[in-house]
Amino acid sequence: MIRTSMRALDVALETKGDEDDGSAVVTKALADFREAVESRLSAVETKAGDTVKLVERFDKLEAKFNRPAAANSNAPAGDNDNSVSEERKAFQNYLRNGKDALDVKTLVVSNDTQGGYLAPAEVSAEFLRDLVEFSPMRSLATVRQTAAPGVILPKRIGRTNALWKGETQPTTASGPTFGQVELATKEIGTHTDISNWLAEDAPAAEAEVRMSLAEDFGEKEGAAFVNGEGVLSPRGFMTVADVEATLNGHATNLSADALISLMYALPAAYRNRGTWALNGTTLATIRKLKDGQGNYLWQPSYQAGQPETILGRPVVEMIDMPDVEANAFPVAFGDFGTAYRIYDRLGGLSIFSNPYLLATEGLIRIHARHRVGGDVVQAKAIRKLKMATN
């Protein structure tokens, strides 16, 4: 109504000329506009008054709810305290603001025929979880992707053999020899079931299951890249027979001299890019070792972002490496980027839900699978330390 009056006033102002009848038109339009505004204000004041009365009534109901019950009250246990329960707060919110204001995500319907809403036991959004650690081989090895079930890497086994000769002597023929390394992708998978109620009442639970699966796969893959047998899982660098070893000379005591020998047994090209790999227990033992001048072999890092070093080369903790014991290989050193390849099947970790398989049982099945291959492609780039046998 106000907008209509404003449009009429605009038209009158546009058509107003010097004639007297034009002034009359404007005067009438102004009067109509004023009447429309006064009518609208009156309606707003009336509605505001009704709202105030309704709020006052709700306040009286709230005061009644908060009134302590009599000592001989037959109310259920727990209803005689002065605090307003979550159920009452929800009901009061419903009275004040209507059904749209009701937080359905935190309530369940107890008895819809009576209009009752009960708040469930609180489920915290914080999940308590154990810290998952796994060997960081992916950060050291060369990681690539493939769309094939496996990868064949050509490998040069031998090389040409040039010989010194005299002025008129003929040259001797020679030629490099070649082979190949086949790296097949393996599959790891599992499934887990969660109830429909859990998925509905605690949506974070499904996300937590997915996180658990990712952590589990990372842990299992890290272990396989170190100690995998190469049949169902990727082959770990510790199980490759072609990876040579340096003898420690004692079954239980690590030798500082043996670590130096291990490091310099590698060709310089690999040694200069080498990284130490060992678990935390072995790391603690090495931190106590000293050279002949009493200097610790372990050198802490004093610069942010720079790793600690042993004999000048960085150290990476791998929890899947064996402990120091007789006949074990507790330490490895080498250029892992050159020595080890990881191939992920395109698509990465696949996690999907199937709500139909166990629908009659009220369960959702979550499947997870991943195809990945790993193997040593250059055994000469890594070397292990072997403890003596008792």
pLDDT band for 295, please (50, 70, 90 cuts).
confident
pLDDT higher than 80, residue 384: yes
Provide φ and ψ at 144, rounded to 5°: -135, 175
| 12 touches 23 (CB < 8 A) | no
User: What confidence score (pLDDT) does residue 297 get?
Assistant: 73
Which of 138-147, 167-176, 291-300 has maximum average pLDDT?
A: 138-147
pLDDT higher than 70, residue 11: no
Nearest-angstrom CA–CA distance, 236 and 222: 9
Which of 9-13, 265-269, 303-307 has maximum average pLDDT?
A: 265-269
pLDDT higher than 60, residue 74: no
Maximum alpha-carbon separation in the chain: 129
Residue 2 CA to its chain's centroid (Å): 57
Nearest-angstrom CA–CA distance, 365 and 363: 6
84-132: pLDDT as tens digits? 455 556 545 544 555 555 454 433 334 443 333 333 444 444 455 555 5
Q: Which of 316, 375, 379 is nearest to 342 (CA)?
A: 375
pLDDT band for 157, please (50, 70, 90 cuts).
confident
pLDDT higher than 50, residue 23: yes
User: What confidence score (pLDDT) does residue 128 get?
Assistant: 52
User: What confidence score (pLDDT) does residue 121 get?
Assistant: 45
Nearest-angstrom CA–CA distance, 190 and 192: 7
Nearest-angstrom CA–CA distance, 130 and 215: 11
Q: Which of 29, 348, 383, 389 is nearest to 188 (CA)?
A: 348
Q: Which of 134, 154, 143, 384 is nearest to 274 (CA)?
A: 384
User: What confidence score (pLDDT) does residue 88 get?
Assistant: 55
Burial of 154 by CB count in 10 Å (0-12 exposed, 13-18 middle, 19+ buried)? exposed
